[in-house]
Amino acid sequence: QVDDASTINEKCDQLLSVISQPYSLQGHLLSVFASAGISVAPQHGESVDALIRNADVALHKAKELGRNRSWMYQPELSRNMHSRMSLEKDLRDALVQNDFRLVYQPQFRQNESNPLRVETLLRWPHPLRGLISPHEFIPLAETSGLIMELGLWVLRSACEQFLAWRAQGLTLEKIAVNVSAIQINGSFAESVAKILDDLNFNPQWLELEVTESLMMSGITEVTQQIHLLRNMGVEFSIDDFGTGYSSLSYLKMLPVDVLKIDRSFVCNVTPDSTELGLVRTILDLAHDLGMVVVAEGIETEAQADALRNAGCPAGQGFLFGRPLPAAQAVDLLHPDVDLDDLRALLRENPDIGLVVV
């Protein structure tokens, strides 16, 4: 018999707070959290079925927002849910029909014109909606569990591409592949090892990019899996570094080799900016810890200059090369002819009369 929606929210939150009080069980302190979805008659439905269905839709939203909270039903939630569900179905179909594509973005070291690494990025050309950003479909693949299969497809395809490039004589050092936190379960290292083994792929050619929050989670299983792969020679990097909540001093305990500084810092670096100060601090620390730093999302010469002057050893960004399909990326990856090498070659092989480049 309430006539004010805010009273319902208030009561609901009181209930959740009581439920979440820690309690002691056999000497352990435990907590249980709940989430609540609210629907109100008659505006959210006139039958019990409709009310429960809509409360359930609101419950999904409450859980999505971090659990231990309540959420009131709104009609647009149903619309979002429908479009989500149809996208999820399309995602499944796309995986079966092999509709996903990969693009590759080069990473350059300071003052070198040939990239030594490339990052693999996933693309989904949707037949009706056009190209959908990974920012949109990766979270969906994660919540639906499809990320497991999709992630392994990305890894296998990227490794195959790398082998094809090597066979063409390209001198690439490593290929990087992004990995979602959810993929790192108890059999992750084994699945990766199996793919590498199948392809006869040297684990040292692979770099896996994981997020800062995953690294900081302190989950033993994750650390174990990472250690297993690192022992095989696979390298790990922290992607989007600086956007999480890691304490810098914690870094030394992490099993990673590369820090990729997030684009949000890079886009604001100018010679006297706070961001450049931060980049310098990260560089010092990484240097002390024996880690390599790569700046992500470099778009302008000014950013590249500022980073170069600060001593940042490597970079990636639209300025140097956009992510491209393999057939086009190969132009960026082809080694330039080094004139000194050419002169040396001619000196050592006087019988070569003419070299056409």
Which residues form the interface with ligand C2E (CB under 6 A)? Answer: 105, 121-122, 133-135, 138, 151, 154, 178-180, 209, 239-240, 263, 296-299, 317-318, 323
Alpha helices by DSSP H, listed for the chain, are 5-19, 48-64, 75-96, 134-144, 147-167, 188-199, 212-216, 220-232, 263-266, 274-288, 301-310, 326-333, 339-348
Least separation in angstroms between residue 65's CB and ligand C2E is 21
Q: Which is nearer to ligand C2E, 90 or 209 (CB)?
A: 209
Closest CB to ligand C2E among residues 179, 229: 179
> What binding mask, one character per residue, do residues 279-308 give for Mg ion by CB under 5 A, x or -?
-----------------x------------
Distance CA 205, CA 198 (A): 15
Q: Which residue's entry shows tokens 């940042």?
A: 312
Pairing of strands 117-126, 101-109: antiparallel
- Binding status of residue 178 toward Mg ion by CB under 5 A: yes
Task: Tell me whether residue 235 or residue 239 sits nearer to ligand C2E (CB atom).
Answer: 239
Least distance (Å) from ligand C2E to the CB of residue 142? 8
- DSSP calls for 202-252: -GGGEEEEEEHHHHHT--HHHHHHHHHHHHHT-EEEEEEETSS---GGGGG
**Who's near 248: CB < 8 A, 6+ residues apart?**
281, 282, 285
Q: Which two tokens stand for residue 340?
A: 């000194």
Show Cβ contacts of residue 276 under 8 Å, excluding neighbours closer than 6 positions: 269, 270, 306, 310
Q: How far is the CB of 151 from ligand C2E (least distance, A)?
A: 6
Q: How far is CA 201 from the centre of its chain?
A: 22
> Does residue 28 sit in helix, strand or coil?
strand
Looking at the Cβ atoms of 105 and 161, the one nearer to ligand C2E is 105
User: Which one among 90, 212, 235, 239 touches Mg ion, defined by CB under 5 A?
Assistant: 239
**To which residue do tokens 């600086």 refer?**
242
Which C-beta is closer to ligand C2E: that of 99 or that of 299? Answer: 299
Answer yes or no whether residue 207 interacts with Mg ion by CB under 5 A: no
Asked if 212 is part of the footprint of Mg ion (rule: CB under 5 A), the reply reads no
Q: Which does 173 bind (CB under 5 to 8 A by kind): ligand C2E, Mg ion, none?
A: none
Q: Which residue has the tokens 């086009």?
A: 328
- The whole-angstrom separation of Cα 280 and Cα 309 is 10
Q: How many angstroms separate the CA atoms of 348 and 258, rounded?
A: 39
The minimum distance between CB 321 and Mg ion, in angstroms, equals 15
- Cβ proximity to Mg ion: between 90 and 209 the closer is 209
Strands 28-30 and 174-178: unpaired
CB of 139 to ligand C2E, least distance (A): 9
Interface residue with Mg ion among 209, 212, 235, 275 (CB under 5 A) is: 209
CB of 27 to ligand C2E, least distance (A): 40
Q: How far is the CB of 178 from ligand C2E (least distance, A)?
A: 4
Measured from the CB atom, the residue of 13 and 142 that comes closer to ligand C2E is 142
Provide, rounded to whole angstroms, the least separation between the CB of residue 209 and ligand C2E. Answer: 6
Q: Which does 99 bind (CB under 5 to 8 A by kind): Mg ion, ligand C2E, none?
A: none
**Which is closer to ligand C2E, CB of 36 or CB of 279?**
279
107 binds Mg ion (CB under 5 A): no
Cβ atoms within 10 Å, residue 306: 23
Binding site for Mg ion (CB under 5 A): 178, 209, 239-240, 296
